[in-house]
Structure 1
Amino acid sequence: MGSRWTVERVLGLAPDAGAGRAARALARPRQWSALGSNESLVWGRCQGSAREPYQVTVDLNGPAFRCTCPSRKQPCKHGLALLLMWAANDGTVADLDAAADFAQAWAHDRAERSARAAARESGGAPDPEAQARRVAERESLMSAGLDEFERWLFDLVRQGLAGVRRQPPSFWDAAAARLVDAQVPGLAERVRTMGSAVHVRPDWAQYLLAQLGRWYLAVRAWRRRAALPVSTMGDLRAVLGWSRRQDEVLAGERTRDRWWVVGLSQEEDERLLSQRTWLYGEETGEVAVLLDFAAAGGALRVPQVLGSVLDVELALYPGSPPRRALLADEPVVGTGSGYPAPTTVLGAFDLAASWQAGNPWLSRIPMTLGAVTVVPGPGDTDGAVLVDVDDTALVLAPDTDIWPLLAVSGGHRIDLFGEWYDGHLHPCSLASDGRLVSV
């Protein structure tokens, strides 16, 4: 089987040139242990920045890759390096034919998922006992990982926060990798990003302390999960990174309304484009957000038009407001103008406080402000604020380009929608001449 693979073919699977170069550097047996292969699998352990070696498996029938490292790239450099070694050695990496436990478990899970998918396609019902067993196994793994994470938090606080700025990136990456191993990827991502935040944020100490409190709260809440309300458990699963299947969400709570598309917010990195589409219910007054994802450079599956109105039923994820949602059917798209319920700065903070009281892990809060004036700071962009009719000011994010705001508003009062996070407002859209303009 190895003859079908060449270095060029393996590197052709790399998500980018950097991953290919890193894989070449790792494709040396001295950096690996427990190497082995059989007719369908290649496996091994690679020592990385974490305390324990990463467990790497490649299913040759895909190929499909699985690695316990925290990388978001797929395949990661470890999986590519393992396949490079296997291909270069004519289809072997060692004399071990009995697959390692981690490789066997992953292959078994893949086979089970394939069987379940085939059963769904043929109309077969899922096995409830098997589902319950899988949930129990995951909960046990997560509990062990969160217990270890709690000890890590205690050690960090005991040693003092001042010392964390002297820690290398591996300090945060190793903790995140262990959470990934425990199937807690959402919390792992928050821990990993803290490694840079403590060096670039001027308020790093206050920010770190606040995040440590939220992380510890998640650990404690997980231990009381059986007693939590459904909405709180939904919030907890979101912060831990235990995602829900779309069919599960579509089978749950729904609500129909005419939904105003009042704000779009996009983020893009080297591999992923994501968009949050904020909706306001015309009749219910509820707030919901649609999350869309696409490969970098690709198109979003469900692009929405700012200022449009969607007559559609939404399937709501379990959780506290503002809630994530899915389109439950094909929307009837109309047009609208303005915002349903603009408010003052203090009114917006009252609503934000009630939302955050219900979900302490809420990081992005939608705000619709009415009749605000854009006031530049001393450096045109530094310290720019919005001032409402009560002369209450709200700080704009430092990276806000205020010139489009000033150009459209002409210095007059405007209605504006944005996301509040990290202590600043990040504008998304404003109302001008009866229409919404993206900013």
Structure 2
Amino acid sequence: MFEPPQAGVAPRIWEVGALCRAIADTLQARFNPIAVRGEITGFSRASSGHCYFTLKDGQGQIRCAMFRRAADLLDFMPRDGELVEVRGRLGVYEARGDLQLIVEGLRRAGQGALFEQFLRLKAQLEAEGLFDGARKRPLPVMPRGIGLVTSPGAAALRDVVTALARRVPHIPVVLVPALVQGAQAPASICDALSKLYLLAQAGSAMEGDPASKTGAPPPIDVILLVRGGGSIEDLWAFNDERVARTIVQSPVPLVSGVGHETDFTIADFCADLRAPTPTAAAELVSEPRAVWLGALDLLAGRLQDAAQRQIDLRHQRLDQASQRLGRPSGLVAQQRLRLAALAQRMRHGVLLKMQRMAQASQALEASLPQGVRRSLAQRGERLERAALRLELLNPQLVLERGYALLTDAEGRAVLRPSQVRLGDAVHARLAEGELDLTVAQRRLL
């Protein structure tokens, strides 16, 4: 409801644009140029190159605009959460009637003195050789345990634990909590690292002694020192000389994952490896389990192929040796034939000897006494009977009567059907020649 003006008061009625310009002129005359300290939030950079953000503290906030000509002069990329100092001019954005700060210069709060201190310490430690690449060690391919130093309430801890649980859930992680910001943080970080160093050295001492491993913490093969991003003041604990000298004393490789990708600290230069973020630090020491399982499957396939090739080669060599050796039953049959021939020759020799002895006895019979002649006659009869019995034992005579000599595959004589099975191969020797047969039927008599 529009109320009439009080008596004697005649307020001016402004046009909106004119009021905005009047306010802007008042601000220009009263405040500009101006310097403001606050925390960045809602930072964005448009395709035109202009930057827009809000500067705030615990009591208030103000919109800021930084045009491209000023943004191109920055030596870093501002981001949310950074404490900065800006120089510029207060004004009014008439299209919305918003108060805004046109930023002409921006730097991290306190950056000048802290950065100079950072450069001095960096130069000193580099001259002492703490950054020398020759002392930096490669990371273990498959660590048995991972040490972790960070704040237990930090987002960096969640990021690292999540990455390790996803990639290497089988590797134990030993967390030693530490302060990562504030005046007490350097001493806390050094104390936490020292505890992990003792655990790592104890694990190395127990290696190879199974009895000493009962109830012992897992061996630590690599250490992660991590913290999330922040301003230069937030990260200043990792630019402390005590922390730097403690890092280079690590008995195992140490990875520094402090801040964001654009942040660098003294700890990064002293560590064996610098990771751009805490998550990246976890990923550098944790080759995914699936990769190792795939490699094992590949090696198992190669091993199986190599073993099969060796087996095939041995089978081929065995076949070649078998061909050179021939059938054992054939060799046995040859030896039997040779034995029969020798027996025949022996019998022929015995008969020939008997004939010669008979002829000799007839020549001598007339001149020998009657008793001697009788003795010779008796011996001649015994010899004839022995020769007859020997002839009757000749296996060839049995074969000539229509019988056959059966042997199995091992060359043993087959005397009864129970010695063979249906389908077995047998060898038959006849009076003239030999046959290879297969058992098709068995009958017991």
Q: Which TM-score tier does this pair reach, normalised by the shorter chain?
A: under 0.3
The structure whose Rg is larger is 2
TM-score, normalised with respect to structure 2: 0.21
Higher strand share: 1
Higher helix share: 2
